[in-house]
């Protein structure tokens, strides 16, 4: 029996930003926009709407990639899910996790009008299980650092610079599609492998009839395999066997993960007060 460490991380903070509430609520209620703001949740779903704050109301759970590179360590990707769980005139909540169950998280954003300003309350809670889960062999300390990094270096600066002006520019996507093909797996996989060569960090997805498999890529080599269909989720050799049996036709896509999105702690963003933490 493998003994797994578990750790809970909780962070919260408040910011005063310009109104109106409706414009900001429109941004944070869009799952695609929310994922972009975190900097480390990369959507695998196609986006159907505007990236300037117009909500894209995705049904149910979304397939996502969690991406992180602790300082001085290798970049890592893990497959998982995210969903919006609550939406009111006062705010929104999201939750998600990895498909291997080693990470679960929940974020709540609440808006309180105060004159011409909005008091924004932001909180996140995450449960980590190690060593056999999220992001391979990375430590619980690294994962706790990821939560603080998302709050301090992504979400706080984003909301702290909010002006209330409509039509904000799109955030830089974390996953960039390099190649997509449809056909028999044996026919399309060799071209995909050519695309993988030279990738620092990337992802290969294989889809057939709402079943998805994926391979993570580091330094031009395939390092890990994932498979999920409904409630079934596998990782490693079991996932490889399942993916090999997909067919007769599949859709295969190759993505590269933007290095700026993966990066460790960003510099020059320490002007805000320390986060209010509790464990």
pLDDT, tens only, 174-228:
678 888 889 988 888 888 888 888 888 888 888 887 677 888 888 888 888 888 7
- Is 120 a residue whose pLDDT tops 70? yes
- Residue 273 is predicted with a pLDDT of 36
- Residue 266 is predicted with a pLDDT of 35
Listed ranges 90-94, 124-128, 134-138, 229-233; the one with the highest mean pLDDT: 90-94
**Is the distance from CB of 176 to CB of 255 less than 8 angstroms?**
yes
Give the C-alpha separation, 63 to 57, whole Å: 14
pTM > 0.75: no
- Residue 91 is predicted with a pLDDT of 92
- Is 5 a residue whose pLDDT tops 70? no
Cross-strand bridge partners of residue 65: 42, 79
Position 108 confidence tier, pLDDT thresholds 50, 70, 90: very high
DSSP 116: T
**102 CB contacts (<8 Å, ≥6 apart)?**
128, 129, 130, 132, 133, 134
**Residue 194, φ and ψ in degrees, nearest 5:** -65, -35
What is the average per-residue pLDDT within 43-64? 55
- Is 135 a residue whose pLDDT tops 70? no
Q: At what angle do helices 21-28 and 31-38 cross, to 10 degrees?
A: 80
What is the average per-residue pLDDT within 68-91? 80
Q: What is the mean pLDDT of the chain?
A: 75
């Amino acid at each position: 029996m493998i003994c797994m460490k578990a750790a809970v991380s909780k962070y919260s903070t408040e910011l005063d930003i310009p109104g109106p509430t409706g414009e900001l609520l429109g941004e944070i209620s869009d799952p695609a926009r929310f994922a972009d703001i975190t900097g480390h949740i990369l959507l695998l779903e196609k986006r159907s709407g505007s990236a300037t704050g117009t909500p894209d109301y995705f049904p149910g759970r979304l397939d996502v990639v969690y991406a992180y590179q602790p300082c001085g360590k290798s970049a890592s990707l893990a497959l998982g899910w995210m969903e919006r769980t609550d939406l009111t005139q006062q705010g929104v909540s999201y939750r998600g996790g990895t498909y291997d169950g080693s990470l679960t998280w929940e974020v709540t954003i609440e808006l309180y009008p105060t004159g011409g300003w909005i008091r924004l309350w932001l909180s996140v809670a995450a449960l980590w299980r190690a060593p056999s889960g999220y992001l391979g062999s990375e430590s619980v300390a690294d994962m706790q650092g990821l939560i603080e990094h998302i709050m301090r270096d992504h979400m706080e600066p984003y909301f702290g610079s909010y002006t209330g002006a409509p039509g904000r520019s799109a955030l830089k996507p974390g996953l960039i599609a390099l190649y997509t093909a449809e056909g028999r797996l044996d026919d399309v996989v060799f071209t995909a492998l050519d695309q993988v060569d030279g990738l620092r960090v990337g992802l290969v997805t294989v889809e057939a009839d709402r079943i998805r498999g994926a391979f993570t890529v580091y330094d031009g080599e395939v390092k890990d395999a994932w498979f999920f269909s409904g409630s079934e989720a596998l990782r490693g050799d079991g996932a490889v066997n399942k993916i090999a049996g997909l067919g007769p036709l599949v859709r295969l896509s190759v993505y590269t993960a933007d290095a700026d999105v993966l990066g460790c702690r960003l510099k020059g963003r320490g002007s805000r007060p320390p986060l209010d933490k509790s464990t």
